[in-house]
Amino acid sequence: MEIIIGSLPPLPAQSQKTPPREGAVIEAQLLHVRPPRKGIAGPSGRERRNKQANDPRSGRVLTLLIPDAALLPADIDSGRYSVSIRLVRR
């Protein structure tokens, strides 16, 4: 028996997957829900963040886990995708 602390077990080899069709359903797990960001003003009264983040006041920020990243498009970070969610109680 081999016990390794602090690492994941090796994943089994996976066959070549075909990319999902447009509008495919991808399962995800909800990890965390937080309120929207508020401004962080420094001593001078100006925003301290370099990057402007405008979360809507009535919004919520969800952290999702996609178990199989191969299902996601390669250019997911381009911002050219619209994401819809359907919440199903377990």
How does pLDDT run across 22-51, given as a tens digit for each residue?
A: 667 888 888 999 888 776 666 666 655 566
Q: What is the pTM of this model?
A: 0.55
Mean pLDDT of all residues in 13-24: 63
Nearest Cα to Cα of residue 66 among 85, 40, 80: 85
How does pLDDT run across 59-78, given as a tens digit for each residue?
A: 888 899 988 888 888 888 88
> Dihedrals φ, ψ of 41, to 5°?
-90, 135
